[in-house]
A and B are shown apart, each in its own frame.
Chain A
Amino acid sequence: MAYRGGGGHGHPHSAALNVSPRSLPTCRTHTHSICMVSDFFYPNMGGVESHIYQLSQCLIERGHKVIIVTHAYGNRKGIRYLTNGLKVYYLPLKVMYNQSTATTLFHSLPLLRYIFVRERVTIIHSHSSFSAMAHDALFHAKTMGLQTVFTDHSLFGFADVSSVLTNKLLTVSLCDTNHIICVSYTSKENTVLRAALNPEIVSVIPNAVDPTDFTPDPFRRHDSIITIVVVSRLVYRKGTDLLSGIIPELCQKYPDLNFIIGGEGPKRIILEEVRERYQLHDRVRLLGALEHKDVRNVLVQGHIFLNTSLTEAFCMAIVEAASCGLQVVSTRVGGIPEVLPENLIILCEPSVKSLCEGLEKAISQLKSGTLPAPENVHNIVKTFYTWRNVAERTEKVYDRVAGEAVLPMDRRLDRLISHCGPVTGCIFALLAVFNFLFLMFLRWMTPDSFIDVAMDATGPKGAWTYPHPYGRKQGDNNEVSQVR
């Protein structure tokens, strides 16, 4: 599905104009040139990755220019094009830990500056606080005088040494960022506290799911038995330990109860032990790692969806499950209470006892037939979260940011010193000065005017729409192109 061009200048023809009236901008003064930066992008899979991809596609649909910058994944380096001419730069930077690059605050400047100039980027949008590259890009963008937006996708505590250090770095990184986006109100409170921010510059824009990917199919499930579905990575933070207590409790009580568990992780072993110990091989199915496209087929086999997470900023899994018409039972942690209305979710405390009570309530409702029909649930949920809405709201953030001034160097240094504490502030102010000098040096080596301007391949007016010789396949907006 993907088209791999041989660089940005492959097709110098002017593109055919076939703009559908639907995608014309409705209330906007001008379009933006946006650069999404994160260490996490396809082929890596996860919430951040799909967020960046879907948001970019919807922004392109709305007439903006979007490029994505990430680090090289194995063999995948250089420039790739995804659906609708979405250009992705896979930069050859060393990965240090957990798919995050190492940060020196300097080594990425030459590459990133070249891309920002070449693509005529006006807004840098970084994603995920765990991504070193995202913070690097913010730092360089401020030095270059570009507008910056940051999206935080995760929650973080305050208790231990590692979180104290990470939060300090986040304070430094966000103190002069124009706008911050969080995925839930709880996440906003968390980020405001962690980075000591003015809450006015933090917007809440939830994640979305594609409702057409998650449609109910009541014929796939057996109504003679009750099936509970769990889809999550099997790690401590997702509460797999709680699951290992719930399975024997409920299986002993309800002989017609089955479990389907999708996902892989280090805690799988304890589920296998439980299955072994209570002889539940025919009632507890462990499916292992699931591809994103298979998730729906697993979900529709169940009646009840169980989420045992111990921390969660915005739980996509429960929205996906509700969209498939399942009754959701979940722990009351993080942003989860904000995600679904009370009639669609049963919230429990993070303990085996409370979760069992919640599940029993769901089972009794199921047996008495008081649960709403899957189709009705789907029709309610599909109106909640859409990527188009997310793009629309993000666009407002861009519009607001574009009207703001980027702090000039002297005020940026003042802000760093006054905002981040005397020691850290001074260190980073010094680093900012070095960064500026380095940028001066780079500008002297290769002046901006020497850098080629890349062609915009995206959007309805982009070169992408030109019918190239290979024959263009109809790109589906919501599917990831995978060239492996």
Chain B
Amino acid sequence: MCAQPVANTKEIRWQKVLYERQPFPDNYVDRRFLEELRKNIYARKYRYWAVVFESSVVVQQLCSVCVFVVIWWYMDEGLLAPQWLFGTGLASSLIGYILFDLVDGGEGRRRSGRTRWADLKSALVFITFTYGFSPILKTLTESVSTDTVYAMSVFMLLGHLIFFDYGANAAIVSSTLSLNMAIFASVCLASRLPRTLHAFIMVTFAIQIFALWPMLQKKLKARTPRSYVGVTLLFAFSALGGLLSISAVGAILFALLLVSISCLCPFYLIRLQLFKENIHGPWDEAEIKEDLSRFLS
């Protein structure tokens, strides 16, 4: 073996360069090895209550699904008249519609340039079409067994919860897919209701709670965080109350789920944050920070 001469290492300083033949063996480890290593430079520090506040989006969506299922159960049992649900839904939609503009002082409307007439038109078109098609919706899954329909609805609602846009920037998020799954679940469930009117009102209600309500929530959260917390609490308690009237065990489990999501999970996240070891160094792929689209526009 012909080892390279390792003399005079004291005087000759090792350099991190490749073009010079240095009097060190190739596997030499200098004191400067890994000196450019940085840890956790982009790590975020979370505050407990801020995380709890953010987790309310998940709680809200869970409650929406719960309320939807509870209402469907009441309709299915014949305990809730469809006209009554339609009236309440219409009234709350109107209140929501007014609130939607009030919260940001009509700024969003001005920016999007959408008129009230356009809103009214699309609402009318939607209601007419759903009403017209409700006999078909009613008989759509007649040949499918009820168990299959329930299983499908459960999967669709789970999918709705998974793909919902909670504000995270991830590949799995797709609000379109999420909404579609929720509507599909509602159509499945509506087809098991006693009459066409029931089916029509169930689908309308699904649109209200899965499409319109999250839009209002988002705006409330951005503009008036305090009232948003209140709304979330109220909504959670009403969902729990509704569930309690059907099944006490279910309500307890649901309450535990909500508490763990809004209180335990943030705690756990902050605890795990201590173990975070994000390594950065010169080997990282550089990021282009400029906006390069200006050269092409």
- Beta-carbon contact of A184 and B18 below 8 Å: yes
- Beta-carbon contact of A189 and B295 below 8 Å: no
With A and B bound together, what is the CA distance between A399 and B33 in angstroms?
25
- Which of B16, B17, B286, B292 is most buried by chain A, counting CB atoms within 10 A of its CB? B286
In chain A, positions 197-239 with a C-beta closer than 8 Å to chain B are: 199-206, 237, 239
Does A284 lie at the interface of the complex (its beta carbon under 8 Å from any beta carbon of B)? no
With A and B bound together, what is the CA distance between A397 and B296 in angstroms?
51
Q: Which stretch of A31-39, A335-343, A424-432, A438-446 is in the interface?
A: A335-343
- Given A242-B288, A351-B290, A352-B292: A159 touches B29 (CB 8 Å cut-off): no
- Beta-carbon contact of B27 and A157 below 8 Å: no
- Beta-carbon contact of A310 and B286 below 8 Å: yes
Smallest CB separation, A37 vs chain B (Å): 22
- Beta-carbon contact of A205 and B26 below 8 Å: yes
In chain B, positions 24-48 with a C-beta closer than 8 Å to chain A are: 25-27, 29, 33-34, 36-37
CB within 8 Å: A-B pair count: 122
- Given A242-B288, A244-B292, A334-B283: A199 touches B17 (CB 8 Å cut-off): no
Residue in B closest to A322 when the chains form the complex, CB atoms: B19
Residue in A closest to B29 when the chains form the complex, CB atoms: A199
In the complex, per-residue mask of B87-130: 1 if CB is within 8 Å of any chain A CB, else 0: 00000000000000000000000000000000000000000000
Does A27 lie at the interface of the complex (its beta carbon under 8 Å from any beta carbon of B)? yes
Smallest CB separation, B275 vs chain A (Å): 14
- Beta-carbon contact of A311 and B1 below 8 Å: no
Query: Which residues of B sit under 8 angstroms from A375, Cβ to Cβ?
Result: none
Does B289 lie at the interface of the complex (its beta carbon under 8 Å from any beta carbon of A)? yes
Residue in B closest to A200 when the chains form the complex, CB atoms: B27
- Beta-carbon contact of A158 and B26 below 8 Å: no
- Given A244-B295, A245-B292: A393 touches B26 (CB 8 Å cut-off): yes
- Which of B17, B29, B33, B280 is most buried by chain A, counting CB atoms within 10 A of its CB? B17
In chain B, positions 265-297 with a C-beta closer than 8 Å to chain A are: 278-290, 292, 295-296
Contact of A159 among B278, B288, B292, B295 (CB under 8 A): B278
- Beta-carbon contact of B16 and A185 below 8 Å: yes
In chain A, positions 387-427 with a C-beta closer than 8 Å to chain B are: 393, 396-397, 399-400, 403
Query: Which residues of A sit under 8 angstroms from B29, Cβ to Cβ?
Result: 199-200
- Given A185-B16, A241-B292: A334 touches B282 (CB 8 Å cut-off): yes
Smallest CB separation, A160 vs chain B (Å): 11
Does B222 lie at the interface of the complex (its beta carbon under 8 Å from any beta carbon of A)? no
Smallest CB separation, B168 vs chain A (Å): 14
With A and B bound together, what is the CA distance between A321 and B54 in angstroms?
53
Query: Which residues of A sit under 8 angstroms from B50, Cβ to Cβ?
Result: none
How many chain B residues touch A (CB < 8 A): the figure is 31
Smallest CB separation, A391 vs chain B (Å): 13
- Beta-carbon contact of A190 and B281 below 8 Å: yes
Query: Which residues of B sit under 8 angstroms from A155, Cβ to Cβ?
Result: 283, 285
- Beta-carbon contact of A158 and B278 below 8 Å: yes
Query: Which residues of A sit under 8 angstroms from B283, Cβ to Cβ?
Result: 155-157, 186-187, 189-190, 311, 313, 334
- Given A155-B283, A184-B18: A193 touches B1 (CB 8 Å cut-off): no
Query: Which residues of A sit under 8 angstroms from B2, Cβ to Cβ?
Result: 27-28, 396, 399
Smallest CB separation, A419 vs chain B (Å): 18
With A and B bound together, what is the CA distance between A9 and B61 in angstroms?
73
Does A360 lie at the interface of the complex (its beta carbon under 8 Å from any beta carbon of B)? no
With A and B bound together, what is the CA distance between A203 and B2 in angstroms?
15
- Beta-carbon contact of B296 and A270 below 8 Å: yes
- Given A157-B284, A333-B286, A352-B292: A201 touches B27 (CB 8 Å cut-off): yes
In the complex, per-residue mask of A119-152: 1 if CB is within 8 Å of any chain B CB, else 0: 0000000000000000000000000000000000
Query: Which residues of A sit under 8 angstroms from B295, Cβ to Cβ?
Result: 244-245, 248, 274, 277
Contact of B285 among A185, A203, A204, A237 (CB under 8 A): A237
- Beta-carbon contact of B18 and A338 below 8 Å: yes
Smallest CB separation, B293 vs chain A (Å): 10
With A and B bound together, what is the CA distance between A185 and B14 in angstroms?
12
Residue in A closest to B2 when the chains form the complex, CB atoms: A27
Query: Which residues of B sit under 8 angstroms from A273, Cβ to Cβ?
Result: 296
- Beta-carbon contact of A203 and B26 below 8 Å: yes
- Beta-carbon contact of A396 and B26 below 8 Å: yes
Residue in B closest to A352 when the chains form the complex, CB atoms: B290
With A and B bound together, what is the CA distance between A393 and B5 in angstroms?
14
- Given A186-B282, A189-B281: A351 touches B288 (CB 8 Å cut-off): yes
Does A107 lie at the interface of the complex (its beta carbon under 8 Å from any beta carbon of B)? no
Contact of A338 among B1, B16, B280, B296 (CB under 8 A): B16
Contact of B292 among A202, A242, A314 (CB under 8 A): A242
- Which of A189, A201, A334, A350 is most buried by chain B, counting CB atoms within 10 A of its CB? A189
Query: Which residues of B sit under 8 angstroms from A27, Cβ to Cβ?
Result: 2
Residue in A closest to B277 when the chains form the complex, CB atoms: A158
Does A385 lie at the interface of the complex (its beta carbon under 8 Å from any beta carbon of B)? yes
In the complex, per-residue mask of A1-44: 1 if CB is within 8 Å of any chain B CB, else 0: 00000000000000000000000000111000000000000000
Contact of A384 among B19, B280, B286, B292 (CB under 8 A): B19
With A and B bound together, what is the CA distance between A341 and B289 in angstroms?
28
Contact of A274 among B3, B284, B296 (CB under 8 A): B296
Contact of A185 among B1, B18, B287 (CB under 8 A): B18
With A and B bound together, what is the CA distance between A202 and B17 in angstroms?
16
With A and B bound together, what is the CA distance between A393 and B290 in angstroms?
42
In the complex, per-residue mask of A173-194: 1 if CB is within 8 Å of any chain B CB, else 0: 0000001000011110110110
With A and B bound together, what is the CA distance between A396 and B27 in angstroms?
11
- Beta-carbon contact of A311 and B288 below 8 Å: no
With A and B bound together, what is the CA distance between A153 and B25 in angstroms?
20
With A and B bound together, what is the CA distance between A310 and B17 in angstroms?
20
With A and B bound together, what is the CA distance between A205 and B287 in angstroms?
28
With A and B bound together, what is the CA distance between A137 and B37 in angstroms?
32
Does A353 lie at the interface of the complex (its beta carbon under 8 Å from any beta carbon of B)? yes
Does A331 lie at the interface of the complex (its beta carbon under 8 Å from any beta carbon of B)? yes
Query: Which residues of B sit under 8 angstroms from A186, Cβ to Cβ?
Result: 281-283
Contact of A189 among B26, B34, B288 (CB under 8 A): B34
- Beta-carbon contact of B290 and A341 below 8 Å: no
With A and B bound together, what is the CA distance between A190 and B17 in angstroms?
16
Smallest CB separation, B279 vs chain A (Å): 5
Query: Which residues of B sit under 8 angstroms from A338, Cβ to Cβ?
Result: 16-19
Supply 14 further A-B pairs (C-beta < 8 A) apart from A189-B282, A341-B19: A189-B33, A189-B281, A189-B283, A192-B34, A201-B27, A239-B288, A273-B296, A310-B285, A311-B286, A338-B16, A350-B288, A351-B288, A385-B18, A396-B3
12 sampled A-B residue pairs with Cβ under 8 A? A185-B18, A186-B281, A189-B36, A200-B27, A203-B25, A204-B18, A270-B296, A333-B282, A338-B16, A338-B19, A340-B19, A397-B26
Closest 4 pairs (CB-CB, A-B)? A203-B26, A350-B286, A27-B2, A190-B283
By a beta-carbon cutoff of 8 Å, the part of chain A in contact with chain B is 27-29, 155-159, 179, 184-187, 189-190, 192-193, 199-206, 237, 239, 241-242, 244-245, 248, 270, 273-274, 277, 310-311, 313-314, 331, 333-335, 337-341, 350-353, 384-385, 393, 396-397, 399-400, 403
